[in-house]
């Protein structure tokens, strides 16, 4: 009976002792992700003859790894995801199953992949969304004032300000899409939008300068014609 109880305790302990090295696992997108687990027996020693297999699901619940054997290191088991396996931002689900002869154990854990390998704090969240609201309001005001002012230089400055605000909105939008919405599609779109607008910035500046010069010359010419008419 004692042997049976001892075996039952050993089995129960084995089921519980598979643990994750880190409490919260966060990895960077398109970088290698080293997944590690510890495995201890009742003597608090690493499970010597154990074999551990890992299965991983993408954020959309499709299969990334299916019962793939992990590598035994000195005090842990690990499996390294390659760069082409970490391209999707989001929360992944993993299951590790270890067995050693007649004994076995398993554990489920989650890990996240983000654009920069970190998760935003509450303060960062407030800053991002606050800036987005403020910049959007300024953009609307700038474009509105640009349509009602008559001074060419001021009008050009307001249009240029609006363009710069759009660039900043695309930057913040990319951060929000990546860090909060976990949307690779939206993040990629915002990133492309940002790059296109940055490339177009010098051309927009040149165009606005030309329009400003033309408007100034035209207004000056009309003013001179008006003076001649009055005289």
Mean pLDDT of 196-212: 89
Q: With bands split at pLDDT 50, 70 and 90, how would you rate the model's confidence at 122?
A: confident
Q: What is the pLDDT of residue 18?
A: 43
Mean pLDDT of 202-224: 78
C-alpha R_g of the chain: 30
Residues 219, 131 share a domain = yes
Q: With bands split at pLDDT 50, 70 and 90, how would you rate the model's confidence at 16?
A: very low
Residues 6+ apart with CB under 8 A from 49: 100, 101
3-state secondary structure of 109: strand
Residues 189, 161 share a domain = yes
Mean pLDDT of 42-62: 76
The parent domain of residue 9 ranges over: 2-114
Residues 222, 140 share a domain = yes
């Amino acid at each position: 009976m004692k042997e049976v109880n001892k075996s039952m305790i050993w089995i129960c302990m084995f089921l519980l002792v598979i643990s994750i090295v880190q409490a919260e696992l966060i990895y960077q997108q398109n970088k290698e992700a080293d997944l590690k687990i510890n495995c201890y027996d009742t003597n608090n020693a690493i499970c010597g003859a154990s074999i551990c297999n890992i299965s991983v699901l993408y954020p959309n619940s499709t299969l990334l790894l299916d019962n793939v054997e992990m590598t035994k290191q000195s005090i842990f088991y690990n499996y390294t995801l390659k760069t082409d396996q970490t391209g999707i931002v989001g929360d992944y689900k993993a299951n590790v199953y270890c067995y050693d002869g007649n004994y076995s154990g398993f554990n489920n854990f989650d890990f996240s992949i983000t654009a920069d390998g970190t998760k935003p704090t509450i303060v960062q969240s407030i800053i991002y969304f606050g800036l987005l609201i403020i910049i959007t309001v300024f953009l609307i005001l700038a474009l509105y004032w640009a349509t009602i002012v008559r001074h060419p230089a001021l009008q050009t400055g307001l249009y240029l300000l609006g363009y710069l605000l759009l660039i900043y909105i695309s930057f913040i939008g990319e951060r929000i899409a990546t860090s909060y919405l976990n949307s690779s599609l939206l993040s990629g779109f915002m990133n492309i939008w940002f790059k296109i607008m940055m490339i177009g910035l010098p051309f927009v500046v040149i165009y606005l300068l030309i329009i400003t010069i033309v408007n100034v010359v035209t207004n000056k010419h009309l003013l001179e014609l008006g003076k001649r008419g009055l005289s």
